[in-house]
Structure 1
C-alpha cells in the first residue's frame, strides 16, 4: 500500500483511491460518493457517435449501477430474485455441462494445433447460463457477446472517433434489439427479465437500461474472470478450484476499478476532495478481501454468487486440460479498459506440438 489514501491522476482526470479500507468506506457512503458517473462514457463521445445513439433512442436513465434515487431499491429487489442462492445453486449442472462440452472441443482441437481457451471454452457458457437464469430464450449468443465487448469498449475504453462510430453502431443495434424485446413483453408479459420489469411499471427506457448492462455485466465479466483464472493456471495442477478463484478476485479480478463522484467536499484520510469530483476506486490487487471485487453496500454486484460458481466450475472442468497445455504467447493481447481487464485470447498447445494460431481476435 502506498500510504496515500487518495491521489489525483492527471491523465485520468480522477481521484484514485486504492487503499481497501478507504474504498470500503466510499462504497458504504452512497450519499457522499454517488454512482451517477458509474456508466458514463470515459472518453467523451463524438458528435457522429452521439447521433448514431440518438437515432436509436439510446438512453440510460438511472436504474441499477448508476442509481442513487428511490427507484433503485424496487428495481434491485426485482432483479435480485433471479440471482437468489437457490437459483444460483440450481444452475450449476447446466454450467458444468456447458463447460465440459467445450473442454472436449478444446481437447479435440489440440490434436491439430493451438486452441484459444477464451474463444473455445470461456466465452459462451456464462452467456448461456445467464440467459437461463433470466429465463430468456431466442437470443443470438454470438451477437450478444460482440455487443457486450463493444459496449464495454465504448463506455470504458479510449476509442478514437472512427472506432467510436463503429462501437456506437453496435450499441445502437443492441439497444434496438432490447426495445423489440420490451415491446414483445408489453404485448405478452412473461416471467422472464423483461416481463418482470414491465410488470414493475418501468418505462421502456428504464427496462432497456436495466437489461443493457445486466446482459453485459452478467456474463462478459464472468468470461473475463474465467479467462484471467485460466491464464494463471496454464501448466499448473489445481488442488482447490474455489481457493484459486478467491485468489484471482483478491489479486487481479476482471473488474479492477469502479467509479463514483463526490456530492460535497469530503476527507479521505487526510486528503480533501472537492465536490463534484470523479473518483476511481481500486477493487482488487491492493491487499483487500476477495469480496471487494464485487463492490459493497447497496450497489454490490447482484451476480457475485453466480460468477463465483461459474468460475469454480470452469476451473474444475478444465483443470486437467490446463495442467497439460503450454501457452503459445507469454504476453497475450489484453482487454485493457478503465474498469475491465482480461486476456483477449489464450492460445495453448500441447508440449512439443505445433502452434497453429486459430483465433478471431485480430485487434491487439
Structure 2
C-alpha cells in the first residue's frame, strides 16, 4: 500500500498492536479511513501534544468540519461529533461547559467517594469468592464492569433499576461494528432514557450531579447557562466516559499483572505501588485506542512536509502514541513499572484543555480495586492462555470481550 493511500482502521480492533506499528511506519501523522471518513491519525506523541494544546485544532465539528452536515446522517460514529457538550466544544463554549462540571470532580469530592468505592469493591469480591475452586470467573463482567457503573451512577443519581439499560446503550456507543441504522437507533434509545432521567430528577431532585446540572440549566430564565441539548449531552458524557474507560483499565491491569508475574512481585515486595501499576497500564494498554475527532482550524504544516488542510478531521491515536519508540525507546512495547525518563508518561487521559476531568476518580477506583483484588485472590491466574483473549469489537475501546480468571486454583494446581 502506498503511504498516500489511507490506512483502513479495523473496526473490529482485532490487531491493535499491529495497527500501531503500521501508523508509526507511516510517519508522525498519516491519512486513515475511519469507517468511511478520511482523517489524519496522529501517533507521534510530540506532534499530538502540540496539536492538543494549540488553537489550530478544534473539537467543534459544526463550526470547523465543512462535511459535518453531509456526513453525520450516515456515519456510524456520528454521536462522537454531534453531541453538544464539553467533549465537542471549542474556546469559550468549552470553558463555560467544563466550569459547570468541574466542581463535581474536585479533589474533596473524589476523596469523599473513597469509602463508597471500598465498600463496592468488597461486596463485588464477596460475590467473586463464591466461585468454586478451580473454576474461572469472568472478572470483566463480575468486577470490572459493576464497580465503575455503581460509582458513576451513584454520582449521577441514576436509579438502580435504570443502570443495566444504560450499560447496554453506552457499550454500543463505543462499538464500531454497528451499521448506520443500528447506531442511529441506539442513539435514539439512549436519548430517550436520558430524557426520562431528566424528567424524573426535575420532579424529584436529589443530592447528585444530574440534579445539580438541571438546577444550573433551569436557574437562568433564558437558558443561557446550559441549553437543554447541552444538559442531556453532558449527562451522556459523564455516564459513558465515567464507566466504559474504567472497565477497560481494570480489565487490562488485571490482565497484564497475571501475564507479568515478575511485575506483580514488585508490588508485593514493596518495590512498586498500585499507582505504578495503574500508570504503566494506562501507557501500555490505554482504555481508548483512537479518539474521534478533532478538526484543523487552519492549515497545519507537518514535520515531514505534509499539510493537514483547514477543515480536515484529526484522529488522536493515543494508544499508538503511548508506545511510540521516540517516547519510550526500545522498551515501548514492554510492560515495565520501573521505567525511567520519562517514566510511565502517557496520553491515556488526553492532553491540554480537554484532559479528562474524571482521571482522579478512575485512578481512585483502579488502585482500590486492584489492591483489594490481589489481596483477596493472591493465587489468581488466567483461565485461558493469554493469546485466546479476544478484544472487544471496537477501534475505540481497548478491552477484552471476557476475562476468565481462576481466582482460587485447586490445591494441586497452585
Match of 1:81 in 2: 103
Partners of 2:411 and 2:139 in 1: CA distance: 16
Q: Do 2:61 and 2:82's aligned partners in 1 also have CA atoms closer than 8 Å?
A: no
1:159-308 superposed matches below 5 A: 159=178, 161=179, 164-187=180-203, 189-201=205-217, 202-234=226-258, 236-237=264-265, 238-239=267-268, 240-258=273-291, 259-271=293-305, 272-283=307-318, 284-286=322-324, 287=327, 290-308=345-363
Match of 2:396 in 1: 339
Q: Do 2:30 and 2:42's aligned partners in 1 also have CA atoms closer than 8 Å?
A: no
Match of 1:142 in 2: 164
Give the 3 Å change call, closer, same or farther, for CA 49–316 of structure 1 in structure 2: closer
Match of 2:112 in 1: 90
Give yes or no for the alignment of 1:115 onto 2:149.
no
Match of 2:366 in 1: 311
Give the 3 Å change call, closer, same or farther, for CA 127–111 of structure 1 in structure 2: same
Give yes or no for the alignment of 1:19 onto 2:74.
no
Give yes or no for the alignment of 1:348 onto 2:371.
no
Partners of 2:104 and 2:122 in 1: CA distance: 24
Moved more, 285-294 or 88-97: 285-294
Give the TM-score of the pair, scaled to structure 1: 0.82
- CA RMSD across the alignment: 3.3
Q: Secondary structure at the match of 1:144?
A: helix
Give the TM-score of the pair, scaled to structure 2: 0.73
Offset at residue 185 of structure 1 (A):
3.7
Moved more, 78-87 or 91-100: 91-100
Offset at residue 205 of structure 1 (A):
1.7
Offset at residue 308 of structure 1 (A):
0.8
Match of 1:358 in 2: none
Give the 3 Å change call, closer, same or farther, for CA 183–252 of structure 1 in structure 2: same
Offset at residue 260 of structure 1 (A):
1.5
Give the 3 Å change call, closer, same or farther, for CA 293–191 of structure 1 in structure 2: same
Partners of 2:182 and 2:26 in 1: CA distance: 40
Unaligned runs of 5+ in 1: 355-364
Offset at residue 219 of structure 1 (A):
1.1
Offset at residue 135 of structure 1 (A):
4.1
Q: Secondary structure at the match of 1:341?
A: coil
Match of 2:338 in 1: none
Partners of 1:145 and 1:353 in 2: CA distance: 37
Partners of 1:229 and 1:130 in 2: CA distance: 20
Partners of 2:127 and 2:282 in 1: CA distance: 28
How many residue pairs were aligned?
340
Partners of 1:257 and 1:49 in 2: CA distance: 15
Unaligned runs of 5+ in 2: 1-20, 218-225, 328-341
Q: Do 2:60 and 2:90's aligned partners in 1 also have CA atoms closer than 8 Å?
A: yes
Partners of 2:47 and 2:188 in 1: CA distance: 37
Deviations 1:117-162 (A, max 9, x none): 1011111111111122334444522222212111211xxx132x3x
Q: Do 1:123 and 1:223's aligned partners in 2 also have CA atoms closer than 8 Å?
A: yes
